[in-house]
Amino acid sequence: MTVNRVLAKMYGSQPAYFDVERIRQDFPILDQRVNGKPLVYLDNAATSQKPRAVIDAVTRYYQLDNANIHRGLHALSQRATEEFESARDTVQRFLHAAEPSEIIFVRGATEGINLVAQTYGRANVAAGDELLITAMEHHSNIVPWQLLCEEKRAKLKVVPVDDSGELRMETMDRLLTPRTKLLAVAHVSNALGTVNPVREIVQLAHARGIPVLVDGAQGVPHLAVDVAALDIDFYVFSGHKMYGPMGIGVLYGKKALLEAMPPYQAGGDMISSVTFEKTTYNRLPHKFEAGTPNVSGVVGLGAAIEYVERLGRANVSGYEHDLLTYATSEVSRVPGVRLIGTAKEKAAVLSFVMEGIHPHDIGTILDQEGVAIRTGHHCAQPLMERFGVSATARASFGLYNTRREVDRLVEGLRKVREVLA
């Protein structure tokens, strides 16, 4: 039984311990009208809004502590360095990594995947080798591997999904071969909301000695992640999808893997000594952090993690699970709606199409009603093709969304039918 279900059982369908109206006060942006109607923000899978704690942390950093880090002897530099490294410790605890040096700061999940493809990938993949991904990956977990495969003349294999949007695990089992050099898989599908069975996937891959990269861009905002318990080799996520600033993200890698990898970008901070004859690289994590990093972003990310942890990961998951269940049942009742993605385990994403109505028209009409959703292929064109649609409408939820907002979405969808039917 999942944590969500245990909690739902303990506390009923509307958890009393989670005061969403109070939480909404923490997000200044939510308090506005769009096209004359109170904003209903349901595009959280694209980016989440930021609590005041994060906005304040970034502002405070620039107002009081801004300096370049790691090399300065003066007070500001020391403070900035301390804040930067203490946020790394926060991320380490958040992911349950063994050491802070396993936490590499990058721009986002995309850069994390590219880093692994260009370092681990280029060092370990040769002609004739195979890489395994799944049919539900975001383009950012497809294209970096395609580039690598082109360069190395390796093969990209794809695990299919079934009609409900779940991975075909028996096919995955078959596609993991002695030639497979890495398996890359989304924790949670951005277009369908499917939560993939990461534990089982890692076990399958590790049984054959194959490392696993998990794209956690849609995972960390909604689920507790324990890279140690799951024995994950690489985990990437973006700060801005989990209430942190844009332009900051994390690559977690097991220390032994990171140490064996060649550097990614070259520059300052990633070296321990440079002569024109020979450069020695810095130790982890600095080896992978060339140049002045996004210190304010890191500080903001640390604040976002602390914010979510104060609310309680299990509380957030439980509340969101309840909201998704409610939304699924309400939206399904709108005539002509067909859900895309009906996996048993889902998180925070409701993708759907309406008979005879293009998602783009749905998006425009909902926007007029103050309801922000995403329409299109969600950077997952192969997945859209799999389901025989060119696009879907996607409502995605965050910890500040309410049942009343789901009702506004449903009212909006009825209006869509009124206008276009």
Partner 1 sequence: MAELGELYQELILEHARAPRNYRELASAHHKAEGFNPLCGDRFTVYVQIEGDTIRDIAFQGSGCAISKASASMMTQSVKGKTEREAEELFVRFHNLVTGRNSAEDDDAGLGKLSVFSGVAQFPVRVKCATLAWHTLRAALQGSQTAVSTE
Q: Which is nearer to partner 1, 35 or 329 (CB)?
A: 35
Alpha helices in 196-312 (DSSP H): 198-206, 227-230, 255-260, 295-311
Q: Which is nearer to partner 1, 55 or 337 (CB)?
A: 337
Residue 327 near residue 401, CB atoms below 8 Å: no
CB of 374 to partner 1, least distance (A): 11
Q: Of 244, 302, 266, nearest to 84 (Cα)?
A: 302
Please, is 334 exposed, middle or buried when counting C-beta atoms within 10 Å of its C-beta (0-12, 13-18, 19+)? middle
Backbone angles phi, psi at 51, to 5 degrees: -75, 160
Residue of 70, 379, 407, 415 marked active site: 379
CB of 391 to partner 1, least distance (A): 4
Annotation marks residue 379 as catalytic: yes
Which of 128-141 are b and which e, b meaning 16 or more Cβ less than 10 Å from the residue's Cβ? ebbbbbbbbbbebb
The dihedral through the CA atoms of 120, 126, 131, 137 has a sign that is positive
CB of 50 to partner 1, least distance (A): 24
CB of 274 to partner 1, least distance (A): 42
What 3-state DSSP class applies to 211?
Answer: coil
Q: Which is nearer to partner 1, 178 or 388 (CB)?
A: 388
Q: Which is nearer to partner 1, 360 or 414 (CB)?
A: 360
Q: Which is nearer to partner 1, 290 or 372 (CB)?
A: 372
Beta-bridge partner residues of 346: 194
Binding site for partner 1 (CB under 8 A): 35-36, 356-361, 364-365, 368, 375-377, 381, 384, 390-391, 419-420
Bridge pairing between strands 271-274 and 180-186: unpaired
Q: Cis peptide before 285, with omega less than 30 degrees from 0? A: yes
Running DSSP on this structure, what letter comes out for residue 267? S
CB of 376 to partner 1, least distance (A): 5
Residues acting as catalytic residues? 379
